[in-house]
Amino acid sequence: MVSEKAIAWLMAACAILLLLTAGCGLQTDEANKYLEKANAHQQEAEANIAKLKTLPGEWEKNFAAWTIGPTQVDGGRALIKAREVDLDALDVALEEWLKDIKAIQKLDVDEKIKEFSGLKVASIKQWQGYSEMCLRPLVKAYGGLLETIALNRPLVEQQDAATDITNLVAEATSKLEECLASEKQTDNFFKVNKLGK
């Protein structure tokens, strides 16, 4: 299922393609190629973020048993490993998405497109910060909690590890709001400047 955000980004990209296609003497073909790549990398990033969002629910499901044993610990380790892979894939997708948009800024395109690209770069950098400063520490914290469980550490240590996760979730929520605000700023610039029309 495609999210509304993904549809909005795709529509924005299509509108930019239309605007770039209309340009005379501009490097529209190259810009269009970069935009196609950027859209693909954005979709990869969104898919990985969607996988990472499932961590709390999967964690809860894995540890929903009356007693915690090797099966749940192994399941937890597999879950953490899978989310670490998703984090790595997210970082690669964000970096490639960023390179694609930065490449447009170097081309001979309309100044408003360059300005829009600059806002897009800032937005992608926000997402990179969200991944590095929030999502990665959150997955690591789940791993830390898992190890306290696996080593049968005292309940107070397990509770401290759970509290760390709660604090990181609050930080991640705040950073996510910043990311969405940056994205909204980019969308507003697109609308105000009637790009793609």
Q: Residue 110's pLDDT is what?
A: 83
pLDDT at 129 over 60: yes
Residue predicted with more confidence, 169 or 112: 169
Give the count of beta carbons closer than 10 Å to the beta carbon of residue 109. 21
Question: How far does the chain reach from its first CA to its final CA, in angstroms?
Answer: 28
Q: Residue 25's pLDDT is what?
A: 47
Domain chopping of the chain, boundaries: 4-192
Going by C-alpha positions, the residue among 195, 39, 18, 24 that lies closest to residue 115 is 195
**C-alpha to C-alpha distance for 159 and 154, rounded to whole angstroms:** 9
| Average pLDDT for 135-154 | 96
Question: Which residues, other chains included, contact 192 with Cβ-Cβ below 8 Å and sequence gap of 6+?
Answer: none
State pLDDT tens for residues 59-81: 999 998 888 899 999 999 999 99
Q: Residue 147's pLDDT is what?
A: 96
pTM above 0.75, yes or no: yes
The secondary structure element, H or E, covering residue 115 is helix 111-130
